[in-house]
């Protein structure tokens, strides 16, 4: 089936994808009629449907659906009775990828409160800012984050609950004792509105203080079931050669304080009845071993992780034959990587996705033969709830083929930015969310991301896309990672700077690399300055390249190859 035919078939035959309409914050939207109303129901439905199967694996620890649900219920009970958590209250969660994090997110949501997972890569000032910004009086923290909280917990009047390896200090409580004090026999009996906030996720803060993105129960569930529909469509568009009998199993390799891991992996796994193996932090060799041990069928990470997984599998001589899907999100996958992954893992569907924290990770998708045929594309709009348009700088729609800012509209979009009404009004307009991404949409519906609106280099009156230059650099066989950024230039205003990290054992000749780029890019797009790094490019908490840190480090170093041949 085609993409459109598969969507129409499921809408006509699958009751869980049946559509209706609802008014949300004064706007009329398409919604699912038969999905759970809130996250507590989502977990309860999953527990009933998949009782007896493993749900979560962490190192040597395992939870089946019954044990996981009992832990959530016990924590929910203790949150109310021991800590006095009230509906609508925000509870801060600061830890790496421990099992306690998804348990706490669902327990907090189950009592009608709002979970606020904190970026585990933040320093003390950033963590203190977010805790104060969200107004949390409770902070669940692992050892490293408990140490950071020493500097502000007393000043902000925050009670700390020690988690996993953290030591409970005087005045603290410990997660283990709290869990043991709770009753895990029944679900909380608290009314939750589907349009109540469920989670606040903080954006990466690449342009200043991070913004708290308010995500509702309806928004999260709308996104998760929209993604589930696309997964069901994949089986209709590219039917497997033999019936699939293996249970779904996912490896979660990105942080759960990020929307990709939380929504597109963990909550998606609840809907699918998947066994989810949680990694504390990314390690490609360990990932290969876990995929083999747990017979993982689904891998989703940033593009660099796909490349590192492939390299690790080759080192270990592992086929990873259980993989049925290798997805990428958070950044655009280099086009050259698409075919390489498909050849290396012929039984796996290679895919990509675009989404934002503000959209609950819902957005644009592409996989299988369609992706192989269009490796530079971002994909097609994820049905069935979303609308999309491309607008100019005045917000006016543009015709197909023209570059403009992508705007999306659906019930999955955020409610707003916490405590930032001006930023909310600037981003959300009549239900449309302005994404900040510059795209073009072709007549066939394929969306191509040109760049971030604020990541364009203005070189002597010409616009240069960082993503386009990075894509060309990734085609060079010696380049493992590439990052492009503006460099101040007295004559041009901005010049094109690039930092590259070669593959192990490879050497890069800058003149040869420049000639290589000349076959793929216009002269004005070829980098004026190139830095060849001896280590991987710096990355933020969601494993995207940190352009600001990369640019600062390169400009401070100053020792680039300066190119003038193209002038």
User: What's the pLDDT tens digit per position in 142-161?
Assistant: 999 999 999 999 999 999 99
Percent of the chain with pLDDT over 70: 95
545 secondary structure, DSSP code: B
Would you say residue 281 has pLDDT above 80?
A: yes
In this prediction, residue 541 has a pLDDT band, given cuts at 50, 70 and 90, of low
The CB-side HSE value for 291 (13 A sphere, CA atoms) comes to 26
Please give the Cα distance from 421 to 464 (Å, whole number). 32
Q: Which position has the higher pLDDT, 245 or 523?
A: 523
Using 50, 70 and 90 to split pLDDT, how confident is the model at 208? low
Please name every residue paired with 449 in a beta bridge, in sequence order, or none if there are none: 439
All domains of the chain, ordered by start, with CATH?
A: 3-34+216-452 (3.40.50.12780), 65-210 (3.40.50.980), 456-562 (3.30.300.30)
CB atoms closer than 10 angstroms to residue 402: 12
Q: What is the pLDDT of residue 550?
A: 92
Q: Is the pLDDT of residue 490 over 80?
A: no
What are the residues whose beta carbons fall under 8 Å from the beta carbon of 457, sequence distance 6 or more?
A: 463, 464, 465, 466, 484, 485, 486, 494, 495, 496
Q: Out of 155-169, 196-210, 328-342, 478-492, which region has the weakest mean confidence (pLDDT)?
A: 196-210
Q: CA–CA separation, 343 vs 330, rounded Å?
A: 23
In a 3-state reduction of DSSP, which class is residue 50?
A: coil
pLDDT attached to residue 333:
82
Q: Tokens standing for 459?
A: 């070189």
Structure tokens at 200: 């606040």
**Mean pLDDT value of segment 314-318:** 96
Residue 205 pLDDT > 60: no
Q: Which two tokens stand for residue 356?
A: 């934002």
pLDDT at 187: 94
Interior/surface letters 316-350, b for 16+ CB within 10 angstroms, e for the rest: eeeebebbbbbbbbbbbbbbbbbeebbebbeebbb
Bridging pattern class, strands 61-64 and 54-58: antiparallel
pLDDT single digits (tens) 15-71: 999 999 999 999 999 999 999 999 999 999 999 999 999 999 999 999 999 999 999
In the chain, % of residues over pLDDT 90: 77
Over 70: is that where the pLDDT of 343 sits? Answer: yes
Average pLDDT over residues 315-326: 96
pLDDT score for 564: 35
102 versus 561: the higher-pLDDT residue is 102
- How does pLDDT run across 86-102, given as a tens digit for each residue? 999 999 999 999 999 99
- Whole-prediction pTM value? 0.85
pLDDT at 206 over 60: no
Q: What is the mean pLDDT of the chain?
A: 92
Does residue 363 register a pLDDT over 70? Answer: yes
User: What pLDDT was estimated at residue 204?
Assistant: 60
Residues 410, 32, 42: CA angle, nearest 5 degrees: 105
| pLDDT confidence bin for 207, thresholds 50/70/90 | very low
Task: Identify the pLDDT of residue 539.
Answer: 83
Closest-CA residue to 543 (of 290, 333, 295): 333
566 — pLDDT class (breaks 50, 70, 90): very low
User: Can you list the alpha helix ranges (DSSP code H) found in 475-539?
Assistant: 510-518
* Mean pLDDT value across residues 204-231: 87
CA-CA distances (angstroms) from residue 378 to 331, 332, 354, 440, 443? 10, 7, 7, 10, 15
């Amino acid at each position: 089936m085609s993409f459109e035919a598969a969507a129409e078939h499921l809408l006509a035959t699958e009751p869980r994808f049946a559509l209706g309409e609802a008014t949300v914050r004064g706007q009329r939207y398409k919604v699912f009629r038969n999905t759970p109303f809130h996250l507590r129901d989502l977990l309860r439905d999953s527990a009933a449907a998949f009782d007896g199967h493993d749900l979560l694996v962490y190192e040597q620890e395992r939870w089946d659906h019954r044990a996981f649900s009992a832990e959530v219920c016990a924590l929910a009970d203790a949150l109310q009775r021991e800590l006095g958590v009230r509906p609508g209250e925000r509870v801060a969660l600061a830890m790496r990828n421990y099992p306690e994090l998804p348990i706490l997110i669902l327990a907090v949501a189950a009592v009608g409160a709002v979970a606020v997972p904190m970026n585990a890569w933040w320093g003390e000032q950033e963590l203190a800012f977010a805790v104060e910004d969200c107004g949390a009086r409770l902070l669940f923290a692992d050892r490293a984050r408990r140490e950071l909280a020493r500097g502000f917990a007393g000043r902000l009047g925050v009670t700390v609950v020690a988690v996993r390896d953290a030591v409970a200090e005087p005045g603290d409580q410990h997660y283990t004792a709290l869990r043991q004090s709770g009753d895990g026999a029944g679900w909380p009996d608290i009314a939750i509105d589907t349009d109540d906030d469920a989670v606040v996720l903080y954006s990466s803060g690449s342009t200043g203080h991070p913004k708290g993105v308010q995500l509702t129960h309806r928004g999260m569930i709308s996104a998760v079931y929209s993604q589930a529909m696309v997964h069901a469509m994949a089986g209709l568009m590219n039917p497997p050669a033999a019936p699939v009998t293996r249970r779904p199993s996912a490896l979660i390799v990105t942080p759960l304080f990020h929307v990709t891991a939380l929504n597109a992996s963990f909550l998606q796994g609840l809907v699918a009845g998947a066994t989810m193996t949680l990694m504390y932090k990314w390690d490609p060799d360990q990932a290969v071993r876990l995929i083999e041990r747990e017979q993982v069928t689904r891998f989703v990470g940033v593009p660099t992780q796909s490349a590192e997984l492939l390299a690790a599998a080759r080192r270990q001589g592992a086929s990873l034959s259980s993989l049925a899907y290798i997805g990428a999100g958070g950044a655009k996958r280099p086009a050259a990587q698409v075919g390489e992954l498909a050849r290396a893992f012929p039984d796996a569907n290679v895919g990509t996705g675009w989404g934002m924290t503000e959209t609950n990770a819902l957005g644009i998708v592409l996989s299988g033969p369609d992706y192989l045929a269009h490796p530079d594309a971002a994909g097609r709009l994820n049905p069935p709830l979303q609308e999309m348009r491309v607008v100019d700088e005045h917000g006016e729609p543009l015709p197909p083929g023209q570059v403009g800012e992508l705007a999306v509209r659906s019930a999955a979009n955020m409610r707003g930015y916490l405590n930032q009404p001006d930023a909310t009004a600037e981003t959300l307009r009549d239900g449309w969310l302005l994404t900040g991404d510059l795209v073009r949409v072709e007549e066939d519906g394929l969306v191509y991301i040109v760049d971030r609106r604020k990541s364009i280099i203005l070189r002597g009156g010409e616009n240069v896309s960082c993503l386009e230059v990075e894509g060309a650099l990734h085609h060079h066989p010696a380049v493992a990672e590439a990052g492009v950024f503006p460099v101040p230039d007295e004559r041009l205003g901005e010049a094109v700077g690039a930092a590259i990290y070669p593959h192990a054992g490879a050497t890069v000749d800058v003149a040869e690399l420049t000639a290589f780029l000349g076959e793929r890019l216009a002269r004005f797009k070829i980098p004026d300055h190139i830095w060849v790094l001896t280590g991987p490019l710096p990355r933020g908490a969601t494993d995207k390249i940190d352009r600001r840190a990369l640019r600062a480090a390169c400009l401070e170093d100053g020792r680039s190859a300066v190119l003038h041949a193209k002038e």
